[in-house]
């Protein structure tokens, strides 16, 4: 730690001694930490958002609707909810020949309400909402809405393939370029996407992406051998080159700021030490700036498709196309 850093943290002689904080241990790597960099994306099929919305009218009735969900790649064998519904939940999905029916528990504990259903003929899929009094469903309606906010459905086709049925997600474009600090980065707002989602990166064109997907809103990898980090937090998706030298430059610049803050309060001998430290930092900064400029990405072109999904259900919250060019 620099002299200024010691002063600012009260660690010089005469300050009250404090025990050093214990650094938190890094979490154990997840089983997917070394997963395939570019896993084959699952088959996805968008269905209208209305499938996932219970609409209550002015008379406190759930409104009926017949919603065409399009045609899947092959005839449908069955459909199930993702994630699976707990046995004790206030609603359930019951499978039958050519249908999956949603039933809601009644507040009076009588026979469950047939609230809606998927039905299909061959590959053609339809969802129907039925009319029912909201008061009859009570708390089970609130529970259902919470489930539908992050859930999806999976259709198993007669050819054995599985297709995730999900409502449309947010769409965004990123044009990542090398900025003044020498690092390539770019971002886009995805305000409807929650934090902590799984990010999956698929290379579309150009230099190859090699990395691992994560369910914590962050994925790291390399493009043409250069380290990159992709994050999604607080409604913003960011693609950024990882540069240890730029990070060190920022740290050294902060040390210079710290030195200026404390130098007026130092003794003559301490000022001499601090001035020598400042001179060394200044030289180091100049050297690093030269190295960063030399390392600046040139001629890199890549297009990535980033998908943000719910880790439990596979529901797609957002899609981003990122174009990187230097």
3-class DSSP assignment, residue 207: coil
Residue 116 near residue 127, CB atoms below 8 Å: yes
Q: What angle do CA 85, 40, 208 make, to 5 degrees?
A: 140
pTM of the predicted protein model: 0.69
Domain ranges of the chain: 43-166, 169-326
Strands (DSSP E) along 64-139, which ranges?
A: 65-71, 76-82, 91-96, 99-104, 113-121, 124-129, 132-133
Which has the closest alpha carbon to 182: 242, 252, 254? 242
Strand (E) or helix (H) holding 141: helix 139-148
Q: Which two tokens stand for residue 39?
A: 């896993």
Query: pLDDT tens track of the chain, all 326 residues?
Result: 565 555 555 544 333 333 333 333 333 333 343 334 445 567 899 999 999 999 999 999 999 999 999 999 999 999 999 999 998 899 999 999 999 999 999 988 889 999 999 999 999 999 999 999 999 999 999 999 999 999 999 999 999 999 999 999 899 999 999 887 778 989 999 878 888 889 999 889 999 999 865 667 999 999 988 889 999 999 999 999 887 776 677 777 787 888 888 878 888 888 788 888 888 888 777 877 777 666 677 888 999 999 999 988 989 999 999 999 98
Per-residue exposure over 277-306, b if at least 16 CB sit within 10 Å of its own CB, e if not:
bbeebeeebeebeeebeeeebeebebbbbb
Residue 212: per-residue pLDDT: 67
> In Å, what is the CA distance from 188 to each residue of 4, 137, 197, 297?
38, 40, 16, 21
CA distances from 147 to 39, 141, 263, 299 (A): 27, 10, 59, 47
Residue 34: exposed, middle, or buried by beta-carbon count in 10 A (0-12, 13-18, 19+)? exposed
* pLDDT of res. 91: 96
Extract the tokens encoding 56.
């209550």
CA distance 259 to 261: 5
- Read off the DSSP letter of residue 7: H
């Amino acid at each position: 730690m620099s002299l200024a850093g010691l002063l600012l943290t009260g660690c010089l002689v005469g300050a009250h001694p404090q025990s050093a904080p214990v650094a938190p241990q890094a979490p154990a790597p997840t089983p997917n930490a070394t997963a395939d960099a570019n896993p084959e994306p699952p088959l996805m099929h968008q269905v209208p958002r209305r499938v996932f919305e219970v609409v209550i009218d002015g008379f406190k009735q759930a409104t009926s609707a017949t919603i065409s969900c399009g045609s899947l790649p092959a005839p449908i064998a069955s459909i199930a909810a993702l994630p699976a519904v707990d046995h004790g939940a206030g609603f359930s999905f019951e499978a039958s020949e050519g249908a999956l029916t949603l039933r809601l528990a009644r507040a009076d504990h009588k026979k469950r309400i047939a609230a809606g259903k998927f039905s299909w003929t061959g590959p053609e899929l339809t969802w129907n909402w039925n009319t029912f009094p909201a008061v009859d469903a009570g708390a089970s309606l609130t529970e259902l809405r919470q489930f539908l906010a992050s859930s999806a459905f999976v259709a198993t086709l007669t050819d054995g393939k599985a297709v995730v049925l999900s409502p449309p997600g947010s769409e965004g474009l990123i044009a990542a370029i090398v900025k003044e600090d020498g690092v390539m980065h770019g971002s886009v707002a995805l305000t409807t996407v929650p934090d902590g989602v799984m990010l999956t990166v698929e290379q579309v064109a150009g230099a190859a992406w090699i990395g691992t997907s994560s369910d914590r809103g962050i994925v790291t990898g390399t493009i043409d051998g250069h380290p990159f980090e992709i994050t999604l937090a607080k409604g913003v998706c960011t693609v950024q080159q990882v540069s240890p030298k730029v990070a060190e430059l920022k740290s050294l610049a902060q040390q210079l700021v710290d030195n200026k803050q404390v130098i007026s309060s130092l003794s003559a001998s301490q000022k001499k030490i601090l001035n020598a430290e400042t001179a060394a930092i200044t030289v180091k900064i100049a050297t690093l700036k030269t190295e960063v400029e030399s390392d600046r990405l040139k001629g890199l072109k890549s297009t990535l498709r980033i998908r943000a999904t719910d880790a439990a259900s596979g529901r797609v919250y957002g899609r981003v196309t990122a174009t990187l060019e230097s």
